[in-house]
Structure 1
Amino acid sequence: MVFVGLGRSRIKVMPAPSFEMLTEPRFVRPGEDFLTLNGNHLNLAASERDIEVKVGGEACPLTALANKILTCQPPVKKPIGAGKLNPEIVVTVGNASFSVGEVSYDSPGLSSSLFFIILIFILFMIGLIICLIVLYRRKTNTHQRQMKYLKTQMDTIEMKVATECKEAFAELQTSLNQYTADLPLGTPTAPFLEYKDYCARVLFPNGGKNHPVLKNLEVDTHKAEAIEAGLREFHKLLMNKTFLLTMVRTMEANKYFVGKDRVYVGSLLMVVLQEKMGYCTEMLKQLLRELIEKTVEKKFQPKILFRRSESIAERMLAAWFTFLLHDHLKTYDAGKKLYELFWGIKQQMEKGPQDALTLEARYSLSEEKLLRATFEYKELTVFVNSTDSVYSSQQSDIPDIDSSSRIEGGNWKRLNTLAHYNVPNNAILTLTSKSNSLYNLSILSDRSEKSSLSMKTGGGVGSPKPWGGAPPSVIADHASSSADTDNGYKLYHLVKPTEHGPTDSQEKMVTEIYLTRLLMMKGTLAKFITSLLESIFSSRTVPPCIKYMFDFMDEQAREHGIMDPEVVHAWKSNALPLRFWVNLIKNPHFLFDIQKPTKIEGCLSVVAQTLMDACSTQDHQLTKDSPSSKLLFAKDMYQYRDLVDSYYTEISMTPRIDDATMGANLSAESRQHNGEFHVFSALNELYKYLDQYKESIIDALESNEHAQASRLPGRLQDLLALMESDYYRATDYESSTLGLGYNSNSRLMPRDRL
């Protein structure tokens, strides 16, 4: 600001006002908005009356004025004489005019960037709608194809179900009649085991023919005399009633004397006492009296008595029947009928496919072992040469698993079959021993056969050549892998062990449709099952031991005031059918010279369960959720129970066997089978338990007047001192829980010198 002096007056000079230009038209709503203009020094040298604002030539009255802003009221309507699209804003300050910009009375237009964004959004929405339409059409077409595929699958399954039902019906009507008519003619003679082997398998199922009681006891030469003398004294003590009963009571009173030990000690005692069955029976009856009295006094459930081997007496009772019923099994029908049933099950199961690993079969009585899938298979007619041929260098090994085995998804590998090697019909096979096979014997399974098959192109001069142009002879080893894995692969044969039903490559069907095979199998074997039960519960030839023991149970029930007939019925059923016959049905190799029937054990278990149900006095209400084994024989159960009831009733009505007659029979039994077992070995096994519980047994003998009178405590201590004088520890037999034994380089003398 500059001041100029002219005499006494001064002039004040101010900066000229300036306005900011509008870059684009200013939009106003007529009658509502005010027009605001920005600038500098607007009110320094001018007032509101000095400033005039016009919009399109029409006045815009000022409403406010400040240094940097002014506001005016634009015309309500767009000026007509503007001459331009938008009216021009002109501000006049004194003699100076400023064109600031334009005013728009129309709606604000879109900017180019906003317009571009809107355009892209519209195009995106159009593309999205098109994609949704395409996806919808594709989804619709896929759904239609799936529905068409499912309909085709349902039609296929319906056809397969219909075919399966027709096959099951045909098998029920044709195969059943043909098989039941032909089977008895093809059943070979029952190969009964000898008395010694039969008893050993029943009494020592884990030991079999290798159990110590079947061979001489071997000890060090310099210890043999002392050990023999000690075992002889032990044998004498066991022939003393007081000592034997005291030893058994003391062992059973110990809480660490577990069920496995009770079974083993009971079996060993029966082996030692077998040469004196009269004395054995007397001790058995006394132990049974004490067991029944204990059950009644403690108010235990009397019906479960003799059901399990929870005491030495119960195990001795089962062994007692085992000894005395061997001749009856061989002479009368029961043993033969059991073998016919075993043979019938085996033959019927082999008519269809069976999984080598899971043991599930097309024809089975057991729902758990039923092969719930349909497989294409065919029968092969082969010629078997029973002579063991020399292994030829031209023969090739074809094991279950090799480099040609088929590998499937999920790391599964399938076992090779004869079809895998394209073995033709009418091939000539030669049985070869395992020692001649190149297959690794370390991976053989318990399920494998005892021989291999050698397939040859010819059998000599004039022999047929069924192989035609096939390669040289090969050896087929029937062994299966003992493990379910092979180099990281999971093995399977027909059905994968983790699945129940067909594999992924097969048609899926409702697995319950295959339950009709159970009915067909039951119908095929019903004749043999009924014949077996009729022979077991036949009162025409009742062995004296059964009559004698049943009368003893009736007598004990009367002595203890047990009037409920179901209790005595349960005792008899638990003692004989459930403890003896069920064991033989599940394990026919105990009685016959056959391999362990692993492949048919599911069917045998169903037959054994049927026998148990027939002996039950309770009538269970069956529903669709009941076990299939019970539903299969539901209609026959009344007939079977009548057999059992009639059997027990008729036995009770026969004349009683007096003790003298029974004693003569028992003496004859001992003479007939004298020397079957090596008693020294049995005494040695039994001594391990005597040594473990010696302190308790000595204390019990010292508190017994009869034992004191017979000097039993002193004799036992002398026995222990004699045995421990040159005592040696050796490997123990696996069935025992103890770890004491005798290593030997010399054998003790035979048992007949006892």
Structure 2
Amino acid sequence: MLLALLPIPCIIVAGVVIYRSKQRKLTAQMNRRIEDLELDIRNDIRQGFVDLQTERADLMENVGAIPFLDYKHFASRIFFPEGGALMTSCIRDIGQDVVKVRPDECCQALSKLIREQHFLTCMVHTLEEQKSFTIKDKCAVASLLTVALHSDLCYLTQVMEELLQALLLQAGASQPKLLLRRTESVVEKLLTNWMSVCLYGFLRESVGQQLFLLVSALTQQIAKGPVDSVTEKALYTLSEDWLLWQAQDFTSLKLKVHFAVGSDGEVSDPLEVSALSCDTVEQLKDKILSTFRAKFGFCYSAALRDVRIEYEKSGSFVPLEEVDGSSEVIGDVTMLNTLKHYEVPDGASIKVLSKKTHPPVSPQGSLKGKQHFPVCFSHKPPG
């Protein structure tokens, strides 16, 4: 009986030894992987530091090309970011060369009414109580009030303070942490406009250059990695919500870009543009125009939608389009053409033409304007 039970402890001991041996091997393997990962991260950090040091000079060269807006265009873009007739009227009304016209009796009466603080605050509260009064309407009313009271910022400040007090009392008990985080009321848009007006001089004279360099550096870093043309998510981003988790393989390219001069085939001297093999045609256009603006300090004569590009291959030029007959179709989804799809190599020559002077044989507008663009088209292959 004892002889029959004797192998059991031996088996248990052997099992424990084997288990611990496997655990040690697994731990050692995990430690090696962690060390390799740390080494890769250190190498990426070193390379990133080197890139930042070498590209800092490029940013500093463009300080003189900072596109500062004059006050009326700055204010109009803040007040009416969507543009349109209101923006045009705003530029005319706050311009320095305004021809003063005597308003009619109705305008004079309205001007007197909005100068009554009690009436103005009651009007704003009444408008916001209307269910059909959308956020877009609230922003428009706030911007129109800012333009109307632009010459009397002291009175505008008093009105804004009273409306802010009412907003604090209303939202203080329910959602105090969300207060002023989103522009969902007239007074929040008023506050945005008021701060923009007051800070314009400080931005232009003191911190404008630093902010421009910061934004330029962030844009430059984002452009170094893939950016999904459909979802606009990026591999190199500061926001986890906009992180491109599954990035496709890519290589960096240096392209020689020539701009067509006139209609007789002449081209400009080459401009070196950095791109990625995974960039779509529209993304390449945007990088070309951005590099042009950073290099020369002014925008290219044609807008992005009015530009088409061609790739020089074996002595002939191949037009590059977002979607054409060679586009890959997977089910109901059409893959957007990339530089890798067209087999554009490093150092390739790209010609930029204006659609007005060089109309394409088969015109194609921007695909992003289509209603079902995110559903019908894809930038990255399904994985």
TM-score scaled by structure 2? 0.62
Matched with 1:185 is 57
Does 1:359 pair with 2:232? yes
- Residues 385 and 247 of structure 1, relative CA distance in 2, 3 Å threshold: same
Matched, 1:397 2:308: no
Residues 284-315 of structure 1: per-residue CA shift (max 9 Å, x gap): 2333344445667xx55655544444543333
The corresponding residue for 1:318 is: 192
Counting aligned pairs with the same residue, the percent is 28
Moved more, 269-278 or 433-442: 433-442
Shift of 1:269: 0.7
Q: Determine which of 213, 218, 230 is the counterpart of 1:340.
A: 213
Name the CA shift for 1:231/1:215 in 2 (closer, same or farther; >3 Å). farther
**Which residue of structure 2 aligns with residue 442 of structure 1?**
365
Kept after mapping to 2: 8 A contact 1:388/1:430: no
Aligned match of 2:348: 427
SS at match of 2:146: helix
Which residue is 1:194 aligned to? 70
Report the Cα offset of residue 166 of structure 1. Answer: 5.1
The aligned counterpart of 1:154 is none
- Which residue of the partner structure matches residue 383 of structure 1? 256
1:406 corresponds in structure 2 to: 328
Per-residue CA deviations over 1:175-205 (Å, capped at 9, x if unaligned) read: 2211332343222223232222222222223
The whole-number CA distance in structure 1 between the counterparts of 2:136 and 2:366 is: 31
1:668 aligns with none
- Confirm or deny that 1:492 pairs with 2:374: no
CA distance in 1: counterparts of 2:216 and 2:33, whole angstroms: 32
SS at match of 1:347: helix
Query: Rg: which structure is higher?
Result: 1
Q: Deviation digits for residues 50-69 of structure 1, max 9, x if unmatched?
A: xxxxxxxxxxxxxxxxxxxx
What is aligned with 2:145?
Answer: 269
Give 3-state SS (helix, strand or coil) of 2:352's partner: strand
The whole-number CA distance in structure 1 between the counterparts of 2:174 and 2:373 is 45
The DSSP-based 3-state class of the residue aligned with 2:251 is coil
CA distance in 2, matches of 1:403, 1:216: 48
Q: Is the Cα–Cα contact under 8 Å of residues 444 and 482 in structure 1 kept in the other structure?
A: no
Q: 1: distance between equivalents of 2:86 and 2:57?
A: 36
Residues 454-473 of structure 1 show CA distances to partners (whole Å, capped at 9, x for unaligned) of xxxxxxxxxxxxxxxxxxxx
Assess if the C-alpha contact under 8 Å between 2:256 and 2:347 holds in 1. Answer: yes
* Structure 2: distance between partners of 1:495 and 1:354: 14
The aligned amino acid for 2:47 is S
Tell me if the contact between 1:200 and 1:208 (Cα under 8 Å) persists in the aligned partners: no
Task: Indicate yes or no: 2:104 matched with 1:203.
Answer: no
Q: Distance in 1 between matches of 2:54 and 2:224?
A: 14
2:342 match: secondary structure? coil
The alignment status of 1:483 with 2:373, answered yes or no, reads yes
- Structure 1 CA distance for aligned equivalents of residues 41 and 243 of structure 2: 14
Are the counterparts in 1 of residues 77 and 87 from structure 2 also a CA contact under 8 Å? Answer: no
Name the aligned partner's letter for residue 398 of structure 1: L
Show CA shifts across 1:194-234 (max 9, x none). 222222222223336863533669xxxxxxx9984422332
**Is structure 2 residue 153 aligned with structure 1 residue 283?**
no
Q: Name the SS for the 2:377 alignment partner.
A: strand
Q: Equivalents in 2 of 1:209, 1:237: separation in Å?
A: 24
Q: Which has the higher contact order (CA 8 A, sep 6+)?
A: 1
Listed one character per residue, the Cα deviations across residues 367-387 of structure 1 (whole Å, up to 9, x for unaligned) are 343333464433322222245
- Which ranges in structure 2 are unaligned for 5 or more consecutive residues? 1-31, 94-100, 266-309, 311-315
> Which stretch shifts more, 410-419 or 390-399?
390-399
The 5 A counterparts of 1:191-270 are 191-207=67-83, 211-214=87-90, 228-254=104-130, 256-270=132-146
Change (3 A) 1:288 1:348: closer
For 1:257 and 1:491, locate their aligned partners in 2 and report how far apart those are by CA, in whole Å.
Answer: 35
Distance 1:374 1:215, change over 3 A: closer
Contact 1:259/1:310 (CA < 8 Å) preserved in 2? yes
Deviations 1:426-479, CA, capped at 9 Å, x for gaps: 233232224335153434436xxxxxxxxxxxxxxxxxxxxxxxxxxxxxxxxx
Give 1:238 deviation, angstroms. Answer: 2.0
- How far off is 1:252 after superposition? 4.0
Contact 1:386–1:431 under 8 Å retained in 2: yes
| Residues 114-171 of structure 1: per-residue CA shift (max 9 Å, x gap) | xxxxxxxxxxxxxxxxxxxxxxxxxxxxxxxxxxxxxxxxxxxxx9999877544411
Pick aligned residue for 1:370 from 227, 239, 243: 243
Q: Distance in 2 between matches of 1:247 and 1:281?
A: 17
| Alpha carbons 2:226, 2:234 under 8 Å: kept | yes
How big is the alpha-carbon RMSD for the aligned residues of Structure 1 and Structure 2? 4.0
Whether the 8 Å CA contact 1:400–1:481 is kept in 2: the answer is no
Question: What is the alpha-carbon distance in structure 1 between the residues aligned to residue 230 and residue 171 of structure 2?
Answer: 45
Amino acid at match of 1:176: G
